[in-house]
Structure 1
Amino acid sequence: MPISILPHGKDGQELFNAISSFFSVFRIGNLLRKCNVQKEKGVSVIDISKYKLCNVFAGRNMYMQQKTSFFKEAFSMNTFYRFLNSPKTNWLRFTTLLSKKVADIIVPLTSEKRVNAFVVDDSLSEPTSCKQTELGSRVFDHTSMKYRMGYRPMTLGWTDGNTFLPVNSCLLASSKESNLISPIGQYDGRSLAARRRKLVQTKGTEAMI
């Protein structure tokens, strides 16, 4: 067990066991492979994924672990961030497939009269600064009826009226070049990274579909 990523004591052990059980029941490794997540050598993506989730639920992060000499994993910081930022990984597909597996377990447990529905939200996210962030732009806030700097994160969720599952999400920026306040990276148009950036500059109604 990777003790260094968990709180000490019984709670830490239970957290790791719960995450390991979740990975096993929902076959997370198989889902990751379907979404282009794989390593040719070194630490497995399963171990890195478990490390990330353990940190989230334990309220920890790699930066502070390294600052306090608490980080004792078998992989480096560069390996960890390459895993998270790989342009080949289809995280949108991964969260969609995972939420489908979870929903398939929930649906039989509820009444047939319960209505299942999708929920879409695109509330404005307004960071303090996005001038150096790719595709940062002036976007229209329908709440204040003003243009603001930032992104509109569009989130798709599934609900049966009682349980809510996040399905996937994407950031939306302005499609007008005059509203862009930061540079756009150049990518092969056939790549996943290029398709995601094209989606970012799509109208909200089209992105939703």
Structure 2
Amino acid sequence: MATILPDSESKNETHSYISHFFKENKLGTLLNQSNIRKEDGFSPMFLLQFIFPLVLLGKNFYRILDSDRIQDTPKKDTVHRFLNNPKYNWRKFLVLLSKNVIVPKLLSLV
């Protein structure tokens, strides 16, 4: 995954939480079930792992693109094609993810 923040313990801790969330909720499987598959270039999992921390940490995607210190950063068009591809069923992905997150919490309350 591309380095987004300067080296610090909080960055590593945040990436650890995000990696744990991705593995625990099997986001790769959910992407596949939602017809979000690699056509060419970067994998959907890589792109999601790139975008996800930006949202959580309040980082601006365009500032990341302008930064010279970040390597292996997807281009703006790549991210836009990923998010706007009409073949990808984002609604199904969000429903499956919500189910994976909410149902275990509800079952633990019972």
2:21 pairs with 1:22: yes
Scaled by the length of structure 1, the TM-score of the pair is: 0.48
- Aligned 8 A contact 2:42 2:74 in 1: yes
> CA–CA distance in 2 between the matches of 1:26 and 1:37?
16
> CA–CA distance in 1 between the matches of 2:39 and 2:83?
16
1:26-175 equivalences in 2 (<5 Å): 26-110=25-109, 112=110
2:2 pairs with 1:2: yes
Over the matched positions of the two proteins, sequence identity in percent amounts to: 33
- Aligned 8 A contact 2:25 2:100 in 1: yes
Deviation at 1:57, TM superposition (A): 1.6
Deviation at 1:66, TM superposition (A): 2.4
**Greater Rg, structure 1 or structure 2?**
1
Q: Which has the higher contact order (CA 8 A, sep 6+)?
A: 2
- Aligned 8 A contact 2:30 2:97 in 1: yes
> CA–CA distance in 2 between the matches of 1:66 and 1:41?
20
Kindly report the root-mean-square deviation, in angstroms, between the aligned alpha carbons of the 2 structures: 1.7
Deviations 1:117-145 (A, max 9, x none): xxxxxxxxxxxxxxxxxxxxxxxxxxxxx
Between Structure 1 and Structure 2, the one with more helix by share is: 2
**One-letter code aligned to 1:77:** K
Structure 1 unpaired stretches of 5+: 113-209
Deviation at 1:87, TM superposition (A): 0.9
- Aligned 8 A contact 1:19 1:54 in 2: yes
SS at match of 1:39: coil
Scaled by the length of structure 2, the TM-score of the pair is: 0.87
Between Structure 1 and Structure 2, the one with more strand by share is: 1
